[in-house]
C-alpha cells in the first residue's frame, strides 16, 4: 500500500479533458479500407496487457493534446493486445518482437516504419513525421505541382503541413489560378486542408464555400476545422499580446457561431488579464469568464481552474475561491465528478483550507459510489483521514 497510494494519486490527479489520440475500433480490414478512403497511414500500438512501458504510453503519452492533434490529423490509429484474440487478423500479417511495438502501415498493408519500445510525446511525433516523410517524396511532389498535375497542389500542401513547413503561399497561389472553379471538389478540399488560422484569406474561403466543404468533409470535421483555426489565431494573439488579433479571432468565430464567439471573447479577456500584474483584474475577468464563457462546459471549467492554480495570483484568497468554484462546477457536470472533487480537496489541502478540503474529499468518496474501484476508494479515504486529522 505504501507504494500503491502515490501511484493512484497520480492517476486520480490526471485531467480528463485532454484530447489525445482517437483510436479506431473497427476490424483490421475496416482500418485498411478507412486508410485507403482517407489516403492516410495506419498507426498501430501493438501492446501486451502486462507491459509497463505500454501502460506508461497509454496513460501519459497517447492522451496528450499535441499527440492527439498530430495523429488524428494524419493517421488512422488502432490498438491491439497482441496476446489476445482481438488481434488475430492483424497478426496474420504483422508481428511484435517486443512491447510496445509501434507500426506505421499503408493502405496496402505494407509496413512503412516500425519502432520498438516506448516513446515520450516529442519522440513519438518525431517518429511519426519520419513515417510520413517516407511516403511524401518532396521532389516528386514539387515536380508534379510545377507540372500542374491533378491533385498535386493538395498533396504538396499536405506534405508541407505534415513537416511543419510553410504552406500558405502555395495554397494561395493555387487558389488564385486563372479559371479555377473554387466551387469544384479539388479546390474545396484544398481550402479545407490548408486553413490553419482564422486571420487569413483561406479562412474566408472556408466560410464562403461552407456548404460544399461540409458535403465533402462532413459537418463535424468542418466545425472542428473552424474552431482549430480560430484557436490558432487566439493563441497567436496571446503570444503577441495583440488585442486586434484577438478581435479578429472573435469576429471570425461569430461568422459561424455567435454564442461561441461570446465565450471566446470572455476567455480572451481573462487570458490577457493573466498577462498583467493586477490580481483584481484577473479576478474580474475570471469571474466574467466563469459566468459567460466556461459555465456549463466542464472542460473549460477545468482549464479555468488550471490557469488560476498555476498563475502567480493564486495566493490571493479571492483567486483561491474562484479556482475552487470552477473545479467544483466541473465536478457537478461530470459523470466522474469524484475525480474533480478529489483534485479540489488536494488543492484546498495545499492551501490549508482543511474544512473545505474535507468537504470536497467526502463528496469525492460519495460520488465514487458503491461500485467504484477499491483502489481508488482507499486513496480517497486516505485523503479524507488526513483532512479530518488536520481539522482537529
Backbone angles phi, psi at 114, to 5 degrees: -140, 140
Residue 374 and residue 365 in contact, taking contact as beta carbons nearer than 8 Å: no
Identify the active-site residue in 21, 32, 41, 54: 54
- CA nearest neighbour of 31 among 92, 1, 97, 76: 76
- CA nearest neighbour of 190 among 227, 221, 159, 151: 151
Query: Which are the contacts of 165, defined by CB distance < 8 A and separation ≥ 6?
Result: none
Q: How far is CA 143 from the centre of its chain?
A: 35
Distance CA 110, CA 32 (A): 10
CB atoms within 10 A of CB 122: 12
Q: Is 335 labeled as catalytic in the residue annotation?
A: no
Q: How far is CA 188 from the centre of its chain?
A: 25
Distance CA 84, CA 365 (A): 35
Q: Is 75 labeled as catalytic in the residue annotation?
A: no
Parallel/antiparallel/unpaired status of strands 41-47 and 101-105: antiparallel
Query: Residue 135, SS3?
Result: helix
Distance CA 280, CA 313 (A): 9
Residue 217 and residue 267 in contact, taking contact as beta carbons nearer than 8 Å: no
Parallel/antiparallel/unpaired status of strands 101-105 and 75-81: unpaired
Identify the active-site residue in 8, 32, 48, 51: 51
Task: Encode burial over 224-233: b for 16+ CB neighbours within 10 A, e otherwise.
Answer: ebbbebbebb
> Catalytic amino acids?
51, 54
Amino acid at each position: 500500500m505504501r507504494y500503491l497510494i502515490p501511484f493512484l494519486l497520480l492517476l486520480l490527479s490526471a485531467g480528463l479533458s485532454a484530447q489525445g489520440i482517437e483510436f479506431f475500433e473497427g476490424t483490421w480490414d475496416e482500418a485498411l479500407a478507412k486508410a485507403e478512403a482517407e489516403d492516410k497511414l495506419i498507426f498501430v500500438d501493438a501492446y501486451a496487457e502486462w507491459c509497463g512501458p505500454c501502460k506508461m504510453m497509454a496513460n501519459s503519452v497517447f492522451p496528450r493534446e499535441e499527440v492527439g492533434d498530430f495523429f488524428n490529423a494524419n493517421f488512422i490509429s488502432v490498438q491491439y493486445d497482441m496476446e489476445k484474440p482481438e488481434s488475430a487478423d492483424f497478426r496474420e500479417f504483422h508481428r511484435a518482437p517486443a512491447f510496445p511495438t509501434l507500426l506505421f502501415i499503408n493502405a496496402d498493408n505494407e509496413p512503412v516504419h516500425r519502432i520498438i519500445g516506448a516513446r515520450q510525446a516529442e519522440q513519438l511525433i518525431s517518429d511519426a513525421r519520419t513515417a510520413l516523410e517516407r511516403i511524401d517524396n518532396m521532389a516528386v511532389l514539387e515536380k508534379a505541382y510545377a507540372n500542374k498535375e491533378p491533385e498535386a497542389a493538395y498533396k504538396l500542401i499536405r506534405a508541407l503541413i505534415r513537416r511543419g513547413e510553410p504552406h500558405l503561399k502555395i495554397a494561395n497561389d493555387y487558389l488564385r489560378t486563372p479559371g479555377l472553379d473554387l466551387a469544384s471538389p479539388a479546390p474545396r478540399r484544398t481550402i479545407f486542408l490548408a486553413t490553419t488560422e482564422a486571420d487569413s484569406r483561406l479562412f474566408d474561403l472556408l466560410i464562403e464555400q461552407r456548404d460544399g466543404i461540409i458535403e465533402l468533409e462532413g459537418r463535424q470535421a468542418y466545425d472542428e476545422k473552424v474552431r482549430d483555426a480560430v484557436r490558432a489565431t487566439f493563441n497567436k494573439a496571446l503570444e503577441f499580446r495583440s488585442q486586434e488579433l484577438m478581435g479578429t479571432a472573435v469576429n471570425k468565430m461569430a461568422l459561424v457561431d455567435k454564442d461561441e464567439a461570446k465565450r471566446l471573447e470572455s476567455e480572451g479577456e481573462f487570458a490577457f488579464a493573466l498577462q498583467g500584474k493586477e490580481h483584481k483584474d484577473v479576478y474580474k475577468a475570471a469571474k466574467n469568464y466563469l459566468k459567460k464563457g466556461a459555465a456549463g462546459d466542464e472542460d473549460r471549467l477545468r482549464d479555468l481552474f488550471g490557469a488560476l492554480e498555476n498563475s502567480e495570483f493564486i495566493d490571493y484568497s479571492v483567486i483561491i475561491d474562484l479556482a475552487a468554484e470552477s473545479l467544483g462546477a466541473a465536478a457537478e457536470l461530470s459523470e466522474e465528478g469524484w475525480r474533480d472533487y478529489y483534485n479540489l480537496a488536494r488543492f484546498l489541502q495545499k492551501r490549508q483550507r482543511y474544512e473545505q478540503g474535507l468537504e470536497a474529499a467526502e463528496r469525492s468518496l460519495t460520488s465514487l459510489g458503491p461500485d467504484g474501484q477499491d483502489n481508488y476508494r482507499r486513496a480517497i479515504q486516505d485523503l479524507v483521514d488526513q483532512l479530518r486529522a488536520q481539522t482537529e
